[in-house]
Amino acid sequence: MAANGTSVSIQDLSLNFGAVSVLRTLNLDVAEGEFIVLLGPSGCGKSTLLNCIAGLLDISEGRIFIKGKNVTWEEPKDRGIGMVFQSYALYPQMTVEKNLSFGLRVAGIAKDEIAKRIARAAEILQIEPLLQRKPAALSGGQRQRVAIGRALVRDVDVFLFDEPLSNLDAKLRSELRVEIKLLHRKLQNTMIYVTHDQIEAMTLADRIAVMKGGVIQQLDAPQTIYNRPVNRFVAGFLGSPAMNFLEGRLEKDNSGWRFAAEDVRIPLSTYAFESEPEPGPAVFGIRPEHVALNSGSGWPFTATAAVEVVEPMGSDTLVWLKLGKQNFTLRVTAECTPRNGETVSIGFDPMRASLFDIAAGNRI
Amino acid sequence: MFSRRNIFLYGTLVVVALYYLLPLYVMVVTSLKGMPEIRLGNIFSPPLEITFEPWVKAWSQACTGLNCDGLSRGFWNSVRITVPSVILSIAIASVNGYALANWRFKGADTFFVILIVGAFIPYQVMIYPIVIILREIGLYGSLSGLVIVHSIFGMPILTLLFRNYFTSMPEELFRAARVDGAGFWGIYLRIMLPMSLPIFVVAIILQVTGIWNDFLFGVVYTRPDTYPMTVQLNNIVNSVQGVKEYNVNMAATILTGLVPLIVYFISGKLFVRGIAAGAVKG
């Protein structure tokens, strides 16, 4: 049974389309009022999982609980969910008001109650002036707001968002992102949000579930996922520019563990191992922003290298160079931009790095 | 304006238009002449003395068999066949297409294949078995029997048409309606129907012209007093006794062809739009 305070509980859920397994014995507990983001590349099963929660896809195995009630075989309308779609999915022949009230009219709710709920939703979303317009006469941002309103008026426990901002341009996307965050703070509803955009995931989520191949790779707070990814996939998927990966060997000598790649030797005395490691091939990963440029010799690891490419991005600058024989990037502030070909010193603390075994890619 | 390309283009169009309009011209002209004038043999010359006598005769006096009340009987029979057939076939086919496109039920693909195969079976193969079936259920020779036959034979192509149209609609719309709690009929009537006017127009045109112009089923499955207009026209034109009244025959033919002609003129633009919409996805 679902624990107290759990809003959505997914237990051993599997979904197969014929011989293709899309979701594999997946477990997920979402707490009351929590904002969960399902993040992953396309085809990872994140939208499929959301559709299963909504009841729009029949699952092959497992159970789904919402508010402690087993809804595995319930109709979507009986699950206490509202859903917002990427393409807005507004009914084109109805006015905004009719769009908002459609579900309520189907459910046979009294007219004055419908009017009250629409007024409240329209006020929260600031779409009062649009109520008598048809969807075709609205901008993308307005349409998505109406789509959110349609979930809002149904007075549901759980909101499901299926890439709601993907069809909007960059500026609107960041505006609406903040609005969704404010909406969540105001309503305190449980929200499950599907996206492939890591910025949306990092900014909105209480917890992120990173998915790949129908399996949740890591379910944690955004900072934990960013700083301590459980495997190489999660490490590489989050962060732009991507994390630096160096392939080499894990070795032990008199002074403790170290990582060796060609002539580079990185001491690992500050690194927090998950468990006692074994010597052998491994991957060393460190994010570009955790590497310092020309900042003295106080770091556990320092090296010098020739700058190959400099990419100024306005707010900061990407510097490409070679560490040993492998590509390495670091992100520096715009003020201390080096020149091409200049020899620089770099330094970092392996405490902020991640080590993965080379076969399975799991964190060591 | 008068470039070589334009001259060729419009020249060809004019020739083709003349080719198709000339027979119609001859028919109209002949139907307005009296018999003595026709016997002069100048079929392209306009009538010297315009008379509407042949039209009146064709509509209300021409004889087929024992009945001498003209084409009007066939006209009303055809109306009584076409209207219910069109409504019935489109009502069923649109629900079929909607179910096939949106509610992927078990065996939906098999069902669809069977339906499409039905479109390729020659009618001749099925004529006699259907005669027996209609006789057994006591509908042979009645208008309702013919209505059922038309509805069934319209099913494959109409279902395909509607399925393709509904498939081209965004699926998220359907999902949103389900989350909003609408059921099979709720979604069909309140979401899908209002969005599919163009495809309904196409279906109506296809069915009205197809059923109105049908001759084979009409002659096989009805009796002389329930013959549709096309069959009656044939009987008037091909009667072997007495003088051939060309003017009456021409008037009768134009009268019979008038209904599909009017339908095309009224809805030509919508027709093209709907066909294009239905053809997007296969």
Residue B92 has pLDDT above 90, yes or no: yes
In a domain, B251, yes or no: no
- Identify whether residues B44 and B123 lie together within a single domain: no
- Identify whether residues B222 and B272 lie together within a single domain: yes
Contact B180 A103 (CB under 8 A): yes
Pairing of strands A280-286, A354-357: antiparallel
Q: For a pLDDT cut of 70, what percent of chain B falls above it?
A: 94
- Taking residue B218's Cβ as centre, other Cβ atoms within 10 Å add up to 26
Across B243-247, average pLDDT:
83
- Identify whether residues B221 and B155 lie together within a single domain: yes
CATH homologous superfamily of A6-231: P-loop containing nucleotide triphosphate hydrolases (3.40.50.300)
In a domain, B264, yes or no: yes
Instruction: Provide the residue ranges of all domains of chain A, joining segments of one domain with +.
Output: 6-231, 244-357
Across B237-249, average pLDDT:
81
| Distance between CA atoms of residues B167 and B149, nearest Å | 28
In a domain, B10, yes or no: yes
Residue B53 has pLDDT above 90, yes or no: no
Give residue A261's pLDDT. Answer: 87
- Identify whether residues B95 and B9 lie together within a single domain: no
- Residue A37 token pair: 């983001």
The pLDDT confidence band at residue B279, using thresholds 50, 70 and 90, is: very low
Q: How many CB pairs under 8 A join A and B?
A: 58
Mark the ranges of chain A whose per-residue pLDDT is less than 50.
1-3
Q: How many independent structural domains does chain B possess?
A: 2
In a domain, B104, yes or no: yes
| Distance between CA atoms of residues B179 and A108, nearest Å | 15
The pLDDT confidence band at residue B281, using thresholds 50, 70 and 90, is: very low
pLDDT digits (tens, 9 = 90+) for B6-33: 899 999 999 999 999 999 999 999 999 8
pLDDT digits (tens, 9 = 90+) for A87-105: 889 998 899 999 999 999 9
Residue B172: closest CA among chain A residues belongs to which residue?
Answer: A89
- Burial string for A223-256 (b: 16+ CB within 10 Å, else e) reads eebbebbbbbbbbebbbeeebbbbebebeeeeee
Measure CB to CB from residue A82 to each of B179, B191, B195 and give the nearest one.
B179
The pLDDT confidence band at residue B275, using thresholds 50, 70 and 90, is: low
Q: What is the nearest CA distance from A93 to chain B, expressed in angstroms?
A: 7
Give residue A1's pLDDT. Answer: 39
pLDDT digits (tens, 9 = 90+) for B95-122: 999 999 998 888 888 988 888 888 888 8
User: In sequence order, what E strands does chain A have?
Assistant: 6-17, 20-31, 35-39, 61-66, 69-70, 81-84, 158-162, 190-195, 207-212, 215-220, 244-253, 256-261, 264-267, 280-286, 292-293, 301-312, 316-323, 326-333, 343-348, 354-357
In a domain, B133, yes or no: yes
Residues of chain A contacting B195 with CB distance shorter than 8 Å? 92-93
Class of domain A244-357: mainly beta
- Identify whether residues B22 and B156 lie together within a single domain: no
CB distance from B190 to chain A under 8 Å? yes
pLDDT digits (tens, 9 = 90+) for A133-185: 999 899 988 999 999 999 999 889 899 999 999 888 888 899 999 999 999 99
Q: What is the ipTM of this complex?
A: 0.83
- Identify whether residues B186 and B46 lie together within a single domain: no
Give residue B280's pLDDT. Answer: 40
- Identify whether residues B219 and B123 lie together within a single domain: yes
pLDDT digits (tens, 9 = 90+) for B69-91: 888 889 999 999 999 999 999 99
Domain that holds residue B80: 72-238+259-278
Chosen from B172, B179, B188 to mutate, greatest number of chain A CBs within 10 A: B179
